[in-house]
């Protein structure tokens, strides 16, 4: 108690305590807006999950694939995983395809065509296309985990490149997706309308007939997209390797090492091999199905234009056949373009590594000779 009595006299009752001054910082709208923009610009992009740039760019096409039962996948956190709920669409379209083929078969058997061969060919084409569509649904159901693993590997690659200072921008991917989607809508709409008027078919029957062909066309474009995505990443990795090549004259430090580039390239190669293994049988069936349809359509078009009098030619049927031909040839083209592009970009890394080693040998021949001598000594010891 005595301690408090000794301390209190230091602060008399009439002594005012110092008050802290409140400093008001003026609010500047332009400065605050600039800070917000800078923060958004410097904020790291999210390359995993449904909010990733790649998934956001192709989201409309993913929705179409989900409806047709060809994308039974969903996101658990940031990783793509197989979805049992989306399997409902896959099994539903299996039943729908069976019903469609049944009513189409009944319609074709009741028709009386001028040439019996035309009836046999058209029935065979429908059955072959139906089998390919059913195979795609069954294959998609049983390979969900493999496809999810390939997609997650693409996400990991994008994040790794972003960490190295090379973030991906999917603007071109979004433009290509919308271009492909709009062009296919136009093509299949023309096929539908020309077929209705040329063959005097009801809208429901014609759409049902086309639905099975959409079931084989959508997997082709799905493969085209995945293969092109791998090709884009190989292309970006090639650009990174070329930018970080050792200089011929002078000195320049490389921001990305050769070992890092090689590691990224090996992971992309593993994903490519998995994708090739996943679609090996599908590619065979697609090429066979599309070739049969393209060749038969061309045969009948030429037969009508050359052997029949021009006054008796049903020009609406010829136009309908040509519209079908455009749809089949476009599928063959996208398969070729995607495979050629990805293979070319993947194989370009070998020439870049040779150039890298040549520049290192030219600049530091002594160090390379010591390394080769050490390697030969190690082999002799083993």
Q: Does some domain include residue 114? A: yes
Q: Does some domain include residue 14? A: no
H/E segment holding residue 359: helix 315-363
Instruction: With a cut of 50, say whether residue 372 has pLDDT above it.
Output: no
Q: What is the pLDDT of residues 196-255, one digit of tens each?
A: 988 888 889 899 999 999 999 999 999 999 999 999 999 999 999 998 888 776 666 667
Placement of tokens 């039974």 in the chain: 72
Q: Does some domain include residue 29? A: no
pLDDT for the residue 382: 43
Burial of 27 (0-12, 13-18, 19+ CB in 10 A): exposed
Q: What is the pLDDT of residues 130-144, one digit of tens each?
A: 999 999 999 999 999
User: Domains in the chain: how many in total?
Assistant: 1
Q: Does some domain include residue 8? A: no
pLDDT for the residue 49: 83
Host domain of residue 175:
45-245+256-366
Q: Does some domain include residue 269? A: yes
Nearest Cα to Cα of residue 140 among 100, 94, 185: 94
Q: Does some domain include residue 36? A: no
Nearest Cα to Cα of residue 215 among 152, 138, 329: 138
Burial of 233 (0-12, 13-18, 19+ CB in 10 A): buried
Nearest Cα to Cα of residue 125 among 328, 373, 362, 352: 328
């Amino acid at each position: 108690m005595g301690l408090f009595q000794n301390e209190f006299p230091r602060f008399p009752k009439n002594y005012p305590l110092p008050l802290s001054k409140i400093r008001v910082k003026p609010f500047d709208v332009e400065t605050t807006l600039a800070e917000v923009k800078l923060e958004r610009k410097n904020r790291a992009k999210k390359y995993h999950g449904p909010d990733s740039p790649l998934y956001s760019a192709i989201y409309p096409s993913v929705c179409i694939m989900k409806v047709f039962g060809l994308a039974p996948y969903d996101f658990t956190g940031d990783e793509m995983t197989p979805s049992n709920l989306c399997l409902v669409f896959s099994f539903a379209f299996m039943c729908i395809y069976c019903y469609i083929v049944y009513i189409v078969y009944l319609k074709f058997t009741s028709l009386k065509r001028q040439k019996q061969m035309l009836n046999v060919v058209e029935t065979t084409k429908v059955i072959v296309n139906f089998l390919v569509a059913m195979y795609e649904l069954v294959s998609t159901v049983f390979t969900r985990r493999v496809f999810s693993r390939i997609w997650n590997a693409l996400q990991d690659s994008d994040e790794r490149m972003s960490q190295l200072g090379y973030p991906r921008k999917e603007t071109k991917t979004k433009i290509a997706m919308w271009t492909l989607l709009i062009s296919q809508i136009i093509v299949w709409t023309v096929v539908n309308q020309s077929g209705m008027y040329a063959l005097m078919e009801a809208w429901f029957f014609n759409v049902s007939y086309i639905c099975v062909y959409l079931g084989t066309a959508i997997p082709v474009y799905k493969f085209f997209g995945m293969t092109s995505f791998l090709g884009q990443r190989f292309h970006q990795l090639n650009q990174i390797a070329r930018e970080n090549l050792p200089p011929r004259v002078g000195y320049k430090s490389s921001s990305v090492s050769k070992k890092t580039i090689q590691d990224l390239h090996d992971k992309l190669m593993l994903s490519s091999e998995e994708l090739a293994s996943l679609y090996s049988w599908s590619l065979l069936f697609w090429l066979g199905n599309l070739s049969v349809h393209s060749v038969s359509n061309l045969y009948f078009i030429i037969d009508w234009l050359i052997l029949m009098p021009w006054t008796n030619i049903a020009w609406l049927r010829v136009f309908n056949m040509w519209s079908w031909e455009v749809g089949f040839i476009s599928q063959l083209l996208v398969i070729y373009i995607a495979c050629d592009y990805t293979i070319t970009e993947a194989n370009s890394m070998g020439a870049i590594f040779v150039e890298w080693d040549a520049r290192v040998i030219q600049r530091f021949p002594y160090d390379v000779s010591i390394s080769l001598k050490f390697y030969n000594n190690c082999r002799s010891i083993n």
